[in-house]
Structure 1
């Protein structure tokens, strides 16, 4: 065998070996140990809620021939909504052009009407998730009243109206129909309770301004004030729920504040009043957001971290500010406070994401723990409230939008080591979009 032949064989072997080694290198898969993270940020702070639980009226009235009976009692309101939830409304159509403002007032307040009152206007399309309509494309309107006309019938159908009432520059009336037997069942169930059940009181109507007639109780009442021991929630849970990557969040503390931040978001926790504020500074409020999208986004956002920690109801919708508010309710009444973020969940939305989120991080809960015995408080009649407002020279009645009984929540700092809150019943009035307290001491001399 000559030298050239040996060299050729050796070269062939080396090439084959090279191909074999290259193939093994390309196809080699080492067996790595799987590293599992033991830390999870799937946080559920309270509960999730459905639209029916959050989007509710807060007053119900029955207009009789001789009297008006009304109640803020949630049990009575729920009975109406429960019956209505089994209905299927048909032939929904916008008939706003057929009504003047005075005719809308007559539609709302005439005898033979059941009136459900909402705290603010709502898009009809959102309420389609609460009750059933036959139509897929509902009129693009808003409403703040549902009116059941117990007298008007068209054929074998009863009439239900969704009305925007008392607004300065808007008026809407959407007419819909329901089977006559459904309306008759509502009338049989509701009217007797309204006339004879102790949850209902006698109300009177007074013309508050050129746009709206308000209903207030005829008699004064005794209500209780309470002192509750409440549960403080963990601010760290909100941090884990709200920040995209909690492991990158830094924390600084002062005597009255805890500050959490990452490269794009900031959360401030006020440890004095137990409220928190989360903000994305780089996200601008979406001034063009629709009311229905604002409602849908806000409910979904809080549901994502189970953020419904007490009884909250949708209380204010302001698409021009891209802002929405859910207010705490206790024993049938809205709860107010002088400090923002302690009795309401407020959101401001940007384009598809949250801009600002304010809320309490304590929970009163369903099982109220009373720290002391409740005290009776004398609440003046609606006549006294009417007189006090009309005689106050600082109040222009044209800007009075609503009046309601509520609780004032105040932290009791006599026991700084305990989370105690006083809840005191009082009259409140909505003035140019803001709810203000009418101090009882000012009413004593009226």
Structure 2
């Protein structure tokens, strides 16, 4: 028993030594971690992003000189104007009139040294402020306009333009004075060029706004394109959170259905479009027009959804809907059988509905078709009054555009020039027949 205390001391020493060794090893232990490479998230896109001023822009510029109206729909001229606006600065907006009469609108456009920008849809002024910088953006009202009259009467002496923002439906008129740093450029690109643009005629109508139509017959080239399509797999990867669980169901020869249990995408072969909906996001909570515009554009630009020349065409901010109309060669494209718009409906912090064409123009196919001569605007007005039951006062605008059709196998796209009548019910093609060698667009 005399060795028990010695044995205890040795064991205690060993335990202390072991504890110190383990502690030392723990402090100095460096595990060999495998290097984790950065995960690259694949960005899926249909096309390139589009600048706001290439989507929200006028479809026509109308100039009033000392005597005559001239105008242009040229994207080159319009884009140059939109770019120059970004180099200017506007002062505060002033409400001039909240009960603007149609006669007053007509009078403003007739005054010399003025240019009018026509927009298809109401444009929120805060959205426009992202393209034309304002001196004070905090006080810009959440209001909209569909025409801007630019008065350059005092440009040479003051280096300033007067901007008149008109809302035809709400009958409001706002004014802002805009400083022009490069008045030489503005004069060269627009004022000096105005006389070279197409001649327009004002069609006066009692008690309502005038129409402005091309004075002379116009030749427009028809086109034929082979059809390309956006792949369903690409659309699935863009619109569904987990494309791997999406189920496909062929409903008919003209319709396919894709769903993940929460959202639905339907392919409409007849209209060559897809219609996506995410029901949980449905919301009618108020959204300011400028916020709605930003949400819609951000969504589309995230996946390059503005694949062709689509331009703002309609806005219903109460229902959160924004439509973008297809344009081709500076002309709007319409169709009875094929969808020619991109439409977004915003929901609760995300997209609720999304409808768009899934066809794209692939290759221009040369053919033997000659340019089509369309009648002058006054001639079209005459034929409408003679042959149609439509009241001339019910027409919002008369424009030249393209009528789009697919062939029976959806392998070719034809784009045929025509006059179109725009009313509250939408557009109507004025079909053509030959009279005296001139296609005047009615039958």
Does the TM-score normalized on the shorter chain lie above 0.5? yes
Change (3 A) 1:333 1:209: farther
> Aligned-pair distance for 1:35?
9.5
* DSSP-derived class of the 2:93 partner: strand
Is 1:145 aligned with 2:147?
A: yes
Is 1:345 aligned with 2:342?
A: yes
Match of 1:218 among 215, 218, 242: 215
* DSSP-derived class of the 1:320 partner: coil
Change (3 A) 1:96 1:138: farther
TM-score (norm 1): 0.84
> Aligned-pair distance for 1:104?
3.2
Tell me which residue corresponds to 1:424: 416
Is 1:231 aligned with 2:195?
A: no
Is 1:128 aligned with 2:129?
A: yes
Quick one: distance in 1 between partners of 2:427 and 2:405?
16
> Aligned-pair distance for 1:253?
2.7
Q: Which moved more, 1:90-99 or 1:297-306?
A: 90-99
Tell me which residue corresponds to 1:194: 194
Structure 1 contact 275–359 (Cα < 8 Å) conserved: yes
Structure 2 contact 105–209 (Cα < 8 Å) conserved: no
> Aligned-pair distance for 1:94?
2.5
Structure 1 contact 146–161 (Cα < 8 Å) conserved: yes
* DSSP-derived class of the 1:151 partner: coil
User: Structure 2: any 5+ residue segments left out of the alignment?
Assistant: 435-439
> Aligned-pair distance for 1:38?
9.6
**How many residues are paired up?**
434
Tell me which residue corresponds to 1:279: 277
Change (3 A) 1:339 1:324: farther
Change (3 A) 1:189 1:408: same
Q: For residues 221-300 of structure 1, what are the structure 2 equivalents within 5 Å?
A: 221-254=218-251, 255-286=253-284, 288-300=286-298
Quick one: distance in 1 between partners of 2:373 and 2:236?
43
Tell me which residue corresponds to 2:160: 158
Tell me which residue corresponds to 1:438: 430
User: Structure 1: any 5+ residue segments left out of the alignment?
Assistant: none
TM-score (norm 2): 0.85
Structure 1 contact 337–409 (Cα < 8 Å) conserved: yes
Tell me which residue corresponds to 1:62: 63
Q: Which moved more, 1:382-391 or 1:211-220?
A: 382-391
Q: Deviations over 1:68-118 (max 9, x none)?
A: 111111112223223333212224323235965433332223221111211
Q: Deviations over 1:410-435 (max 9, x none)?
A: 0012xx2x621000011112211522
Quick one: distance in 2 between partners of 1:133 and 1:373?
51
Q: Which moved more, 1:96-105 or 1:310-319?
A: 96-105
Quick one: distance in 2 between partners of 1:180 and 1:40?
44
* DSSP-derived class of the 2:152 partner: strand
Q: For residues 29-68 of structure 1, what are the structure 2 equivalents within 5 Å?
A: 42-68=43-69
Q: Deviations over 1:5-38 (max 9, x none)?
A: x99x999x99xx99x99xx9xxx99989899999
Structure 2 contact 225–412 (Cα < 8 Å) conserved: yes
Structure 2 contact 122–146 (Cα < 8 Å) conserved: yes
